A = this chain, B = another copy of it.
Amino acid sequence: MLKSIKESPLYKIANPNSIAFLGASNNFMSMGTQMLDSVKLLGFEGAVYPVHPKEDTVLGFKAYPRIADLPEVPDLAVIVLPTKIVSEIIKACGQKGIKHAIVVSGGFREVGGSGIALQAELEQTAAAHGVRLLGPNCLGVANVHHRFNPTPLPCDCAPGFVGLASQSGSFITQIFNYLQLHKMGFSTAFSVGNELNIDMVDCLEYLGACPNTKVIALYIEGLRRGREFVETARSIVPHKPIVALYVGGSESGRQAAFSHTGAMAGPDRLYDGILRQSGIIRAASLTELFDFCWALGSQPSPRGPNVVIQTHSGGPGATAADSCGRAGLALASLKPETVEKLRPFVPHTASVKNPIDLTFNKNMQDFYWDIPKLLLEDENTDMLLLYFLAPPVFIERFLTGMGASSEQAIKDARKIIDDQAVTFIRLVDSYDKPIIGYTYRSLQEPFVNKLLDHGIPVYPDPSRAAKAMGALRQYALLRGKIVTGEK
């Protein structure tokens, strides 16, 4: 384990104060240019030194013909140049005193043949000049907190708490938009590529020590340092959850992973064992990877497996109950006192058994305050799963029915919905139990969006919500095993 995050070879890569950029020009058809443009767009505050043989300026930054000409020794070089000259460039970096690099260029081990020799040469050069590099064949890093995003896509997501280490570059950049739609966000995301002299274990160590990272996501096509991986993960899990997606376990996944990064995948069962031993929760898809991170990074640990479901609709209640069962959770049995206290709030056609189904409900104060309060106070409940419908149209049509203009109704409905959300958030904040929502409507609707802003995950399907709650429970159990030394 690192004594300080600054010991990590990734520290200067993720938090540079100055960078050299090789492979950007003023032509936007070039990938390097797009990457430097992303750096500029996120407002990176450090010095930027494009290196270009002909241009005086690149994207408005003063350019330098050679690395040797740079006015200072930058913390990091980002290299997006043809495969054959990469080694030479790393040598020039070393000679200048640059100790860290991101090598975006591909065409090394992952293509086989002469690429293997080129990678061996690069490895020797890096070792000879003491350069630690991320890649080759990677997209490097996105550290949103440091406003540093040298990836092809502009970063349109806010800084967040998910740390990612990925054997695919796509996942550190092509999902900014996805994360933003869910109001999640990256702390720092690493793309490791061919893992020449920095690998997944280094990323784990960094993210374990990173104060902005509350949960770690791993995208794995094949691991190299198995023993170190397990040990590092086990040292992190007691204070931070780790979730992994492994895609090399099926025959078709193994083939694809091999032509992607040349990683040697192993059978599913082997990786299941490695991950379990590491205390890592396994996700079955990329959606699930981030679903789990969302809950694990925002919710407290549940004391047990007992879920109470609050709904105003029977079908969504039943699907949620079924999903909880399939996710290894139980329906909480409410205490008789709770059931008695609930009765006044629940119509005779509705259900005070878990799921608490209010059917048609007239008083929103009940729904967003009194009832969840009773459910959260009950010692038999460990987690609350809430179905939200709340489309503004319900309130708008009521207000227009009372004589309001359509414009006024929309405005007033928004105000009412915001007040309801504030009420619910105030309640929820005073309990130390996980609260998760689900809806079939857009996450952009005002009530749900307000909850997302406050860090309450709302999933677009109860099965996703239940699996995420299952991950919360699983983390509590895995963590317990590691803390008590059980294998």
Q: Which of A66-74, A392-400, A424-432 contacts B (4 or more CB under 8 A)?
A: A392-400
Hey, which chain B residues are within 8 Å of A28, CB to CB? 397-398, 400-402
Taking a contact as CB atoms under 8 Å apart, the answer to whether A326 and B170 are in contact is no
Say yes or no: B440 contacts A178, CB within 8 Å: yes
Residue of B at shortest CB range from A179? B440
CA gap between A257 and B219 in the complex, in Å:
38
Interface string of A269-301 (1 = CB under 8 A from B): 000000000000000111100000000000000
Number of residues of chain A lying within 8 A (CB) of chain B: 93
Q: Are B394 and A34 in contact (CB under 8 A)?
A: yes
Task: Name A285's contact: one of B37, B319, B324, B330 (CB within 8 Å).
Answer: B319
Given A322-B250, A461-B286, A463-B284, check contact A260 B178 (CB 8 Å): no
List A residues 101-126 near B (Cβ within 8 Å). Answer: 106-107, 110-111
Q: Across the interface, do B287 and A250 meet the contact criterion of CB distance under 8 Å?
A: no
Query: Which of B34, B178, B314 touches A168 (beta carbons < 8 Å)?
Result: B314
Q: Given A107-B349, A321-B253 in contact, is the A357-B313 Cβ separation under 8 Å?
A: no
Give A317-339 interface residues, CB cut-off 8 Å to B: 317-326, 329-331
Given contacts A170-B314, A324-B252, contact A357 B260 (CB under 8 A): yes
Structural contact, A285 and B323, CB atoms closer than 8 A: yes
Contact A247 B318 (CB under 8 A): yes
Partner pick for A154 among B37, B255, B393, CB 8 A cutoff? B393
Evaluate contact between A177 and B318: CB separation under 8 angstroms: no
* B residues less than 8 Å from A451 (CB atoms): none
Which residues of B have CB within 8 Å of A330? 252
Chain B contacts of A249 at CB under 8 A? 322
- A149 at interface (Cβ–Cβ under 8 A)? no
Whether A252 pairs with B325 at a CB distance below 8 angstroms is yes
A260 to B154, CA, bound (A): 48
Asked if A348 CB lies within 8 Å of chain B CBs, one says yes
CB atoms of A316 and B442 under 8 A apart: no
Say whether A247 contacts B319, CB under 8 Å.
yes
A18 within 8 A of B: no
The yes or no answer to A128 lying at the interface (CB within 8 A) is no
* A–B pairs, 12, beta carbons within 8 Å: A27-B401, A34-B397, A37-B397, A137-B349, A154-B393, A178-B441, A253-B322, A255-B354, A256-B318, A256-B322, A257-B321, A287-B461
Contacts beyond the supplied A178-B441, A181-B442, A261-B314: 17 A-B pairs with Cβ under 8 Å: A28-B397, A29-B398, A106-B349, A153-B393, A170-B314, A174-B316, A177-B440, A177-B441, A250-B322, A250-B325, A256-B322, A256-B355, A259-B351, A260-B357, A285-B464, A286-B319, A286-B462
